Structure 1
Amino acid sequence: MPAVIHVEVTEIRQNLPSWLERVRGGEEVAIIDRGRVMARLVPPVDRRAEARRALEELRARARVGDVESPVGEAWSAADDPP
């Protein structure tokens, strides 16, 4: 993960478009006011790509066997005690 860039709020105010372009490029910016972090600018998360990656990981680990044949023992959720 790249380092967070710390920038004073006055610099952000004066050059917001260029800082937004850097964030769009993947950088994370911490906005400093009076020596303390007051906000962070972070690139948006591509939720679809993240979900696809997670599904691919599951697909790589999953083992699907015979799901149609009897399991060899009788069972039913109706037999479970309440």
Structure 2
Amino acid sequence: MEVPISALRAELSSWIERVRGGDEVVVTDRGVPVARLSQINTAPLLEQLVERGVLSRPSGSRRPAARDIVRAQASGSVSDFVTEQRR
């Protein structure tokens, strides 16, 4: 279904309700299509992949810890620090 920009502005909430109902709306400017309104799938991508069996949930809920890592300390600018680290 198509709607001119002027009608979309005047009746935005009713057009949004149509999109929520499953319709796809093409917005036109002087008869030329310029945008498309469609529903957004609200299920997160990771949940969809888990449901399809592409991914599995992690076995533990803890994040891995960075052990025995020495943090770099910079006393000057970042570019000076990078140059120092490259030597």
Report the TM-score when normalising by structure 2. Answer: 0.50
Please tell me the root mean square deviation across aligned C-alpha atoms, in Å: 2.1
Return the alpha-carbon distance in structure 1 between the equivalents of residues 29 and 5 of structure 2. Answer: 6
Matched, 1:11 2:10: no
- Report how many residues are paired: 53
Which structure 1 residue ranges, 5 or more long, are not aligned?
59-82
Runs of 4+ in 1 over 2 A off after TM superposition: 46-55
What pairs with 1:1-82 in structure 2 (closer than 5 Å)?
5-48=1-44, 50-55=48-53
Equivalent residue letter for 1:23: V
CA distance 1:25–1:10, change in 2 (3 Å)? same
Identity of aligned residues (%): 37
Choose between structure 1 and 2 for higher RCO, CA contacts under 8 A separated by at least 6 residues.
Answer: 1
Report the TM-score when normalising by structure 1. Answer: 0.53
